[in-house]
A and B are shown apart, each in its own frame.
Chain A
């Protein structure tokens, strides 16, 4: 499984932008970069994903390096509700019995603390 490296923790102030880095130097050409977050006592929540180009959605932006060996999740204005563990995941493309599937391989993630 291709692996990712994230800082153990980061801190931010409310209303400020947050840039969460992720290194994935062994990424393969078919790996998608996914971000999920998990609030305390909840299941993981999908944030965003991309393959090669930068992506934007209502929750965040994903900036992908040209060589795809790193990416950055950008929260434009952090709120207290954004305090969570953020997981950067390379979703494996695998094939079993003629059907593709993509398991999510979670690491330890980055604990984001947001200060009022």
Chain B
């Protein structure tokens, strides 16, 4: 049990729609990262938020956006959904930024785009 909670656990959306996924980070953690995991692949880094600002981004288009709130919870928004967006979306929280810090992952949100 990592203390990182994601909602919803499963979601089905239609191509072209928009979706919002939510993450509640572990108490005391001020950094949240989001990852996309396609079936049979390792997770891919989408972006990271630190103190309510995006401070790092992977190779994802602008229709992937996020927010971090003052309580350090976070949202991932995806606009204009495509079939290839079907994946497990993972949220990870950390006590601080940097390479020497462990990340604690939630159970993920399984998004299916039809």
Contact B42 A108 (CB under 8 A): yes
Task: Point out the residue from A43, A45, A100, A106 that lies within 8 Å of B44, measured CB to CB.
Answer: A106
A44-B43 contact in complex given A97-B53, A103-B48, A103-B56, C-beta closer than 8 Å: yes
Contact A31 B108 (CB under 8 A): no
Type the 1/0 row for A68-88, where 1 means its CB is closer than 8 Å to any CB of B.
000000000000000000010
Report the bound CA distance from A104 to B42 in whole Å: 10
Contact A106 B43 (CB under 8 A): yes
What residues of chain B lie closer than 8 Å to A92, measured between beta carbons?
99
* Least CB distance, B104 to chain A, in whole angstroms: 6
Contact A102 B90 (CB under 8 A): no
Q: Provide the main secondary structure of the chain A interface.
A: loop
What residues of chain A lie closer than 8 Å to B50, measured between beta carbons?
99, 101
The interface size of chain A toward B, counting residues with CB under 8 Å, comes to 29
Contact B58 A103 (CB under 8 A): yes
Contact B99 A45 (CB under 8 A): no
Report the bound CA distance from A67 to B51 in whole Å: 36
Report the bound CA distance from A94 to B56 in whole Å: 8
Q: What residue of chain A has the Cβ atom nearest to residue B100's Cβ?
A: A32
* Least CB distance, A92 to chain B, in whole angstroms: 6
Type the 1/0 row for B40-55, where 1 means its CB is closer than 8 Å to any CB of A.
0111110010100101
What residues of chain A lie closer than 8 Å to B35, measured between beta carbons?
104, 106
What residues of chain A lie closer than 8 Å to B98, measured between beta carbons?
93, 100-102
* Least CB distance, B53 to chain A, in whole angstroms: 7
A101-B55 contact in complex given A44-B105, A91-B99, C-beta closer than 8 Å: yes
Q: Which residues of B contact A (CB under 8 A)?
A: 2, 4, 31, 33, 35, 41-45, 48, 50, 53, 55-56, 58, 90, 92, 97-108
- A-B contacts, 17 listed (Cβ < 8 Å): A32-B99, A32-B100, A43-B90, A43-B105, A43-B108, A49-B100, A96-B56, A99-B50, A99-B55, A101-B50, A101-B97, A102-B97, A102-B99, A103-B48, A105-B45, A107-B42, A109-B42
